Amino acid sequence: MSTSLEIKVLIVEDDLMIQRILTEFLKKIKGYTLVGVASDYVSAKNFIESTAIDFVLLDIYLPGGLGIDLLKWIRQQERAIDALLITADNRSETLEKAMRFGAVDYLIKPFRFSRFQEALKRYLIKKAQLHNKIMMDQENIDQLMRLNQNLTYEESTNQTFESIMVFLQKNGNQSYTSSEIAKSLGISRITARRYLEEMENDGIVVLELAYGGVGRPKNLYRFLGGRNEN
């Protein structure tokens, strides 16, 4: 770990769109520097062996191997590298393996920037506290352990976000108004617009203005990156 606590990050993800989203998200969070991107198991392993890194944003299903196995290998090598798993795998047995091999957090795709930011900020706080204290008393330890339990976002809120994200991914080449999305998903237009504005700020969707005959232009939202073929 560098003394300045600038966390050096490797992204391990085969989806180019997710790579771009993670890269943009990292730029918004102080304390983290992206030093590399790997699209498969072997190149990720080679990068770790040749480059000093502190942290991995790790997908599970990769060409050439599993992210879980890469995390296991990191532990076997006793490298001072932590990992945040970002995956569509929501099986409890996979989560259990991730915890066993020391994953600092586990995000289910599609995920919100606020949740991603929370995970990285919490990790940075822990590293800073460990870095600044040579000797720890029980109170310090309790504070660090409580950081792992301080997860604050509503399940229903996350489900709404995911529903909108999945809808846009499946129709990636088309643009929709907030009213059209709200009607398709059975949610209010105000709720849909709020999430779409957040997604635009996070670089997940792009806002397009459609000019008709008379009146204000329509706000149309399109998933950034085009149609998802997965």
The pLDDT assigned to 195 comes to: 86
Domain membership of residue 1 (yes or no) is no
Range of the domain at 209: 155-223
User: Could you read off the pLDDT of 189-230 as tens digits, one per residue?
Assistant: 888 888 898 888 878 888 998 887 667 788 999 887 543 333
15 and 105 inside one domain: yes
Residue 62 sits in a domain whose CATH number is 3.40.50.2300
Is the domain of 24 the same as that of 93? yes
For the cut 90, the answer to whether the pLDDT of residue 66 exceeds it is yes
For residue 58, how far is the Cα from the chain centroid? 9
Q: Does some domain include residue 218?
A: yes
Burial class of residue 50, CB neighbours in 10 A (0-12, 13-18, 19+): exposed
For 224, residues 6+ apart whose C-beta sits below 8 A from its C-beta are: 17, 203, 204, 205, 206
Whole-number pLDDT of residue 15: 94
Q: Does residue 63 form part of some domain?
A: yes
Q: Which amino acid is at 21?
A: I
| Range in 34-38, 111-115, 123-127, 133-137 with the lowest mean pLDDT | 133-137
- On whether residue 173 sits in a domain, the answer given is yes
Of 209, 211, 207, 210, give the one whose Cα is nearest residue 221: 207
Domain annotation covers residue 22: yes
Strand 82-87 to 205-210 pairing: unpaired
Q: Looking at the predicted structure, is the pLDDT value of residue 151 above 60? A: no
Higher-confidence residue of 132 and 67: namely 67
Q: What's the total number of domains in the chain?
A: 2
pLDDT value for 175: 92
Do 92 and 165 lie in one domain? The reply is no
Same-domain check for residues 11 and 76: yes
- Give the closest residue to 82 by CA, choosing from 32, 39, 43, 46: 32
Last residue of a domain, one of 111, 135, 168: 111
Which pLDDT does position 150 carry in this prediction? 47
Model pLDDT for residues 130-140, shown as the tens digit of each residue: 666 566 667 66
Q: What is the CATH number of the domain that holds 201?
A: 1.10.10.10
Are 31 and 96 within one domain? yes
Same domain, 22 and 83: yes
* 101 and 161, same domain (yes or no): no
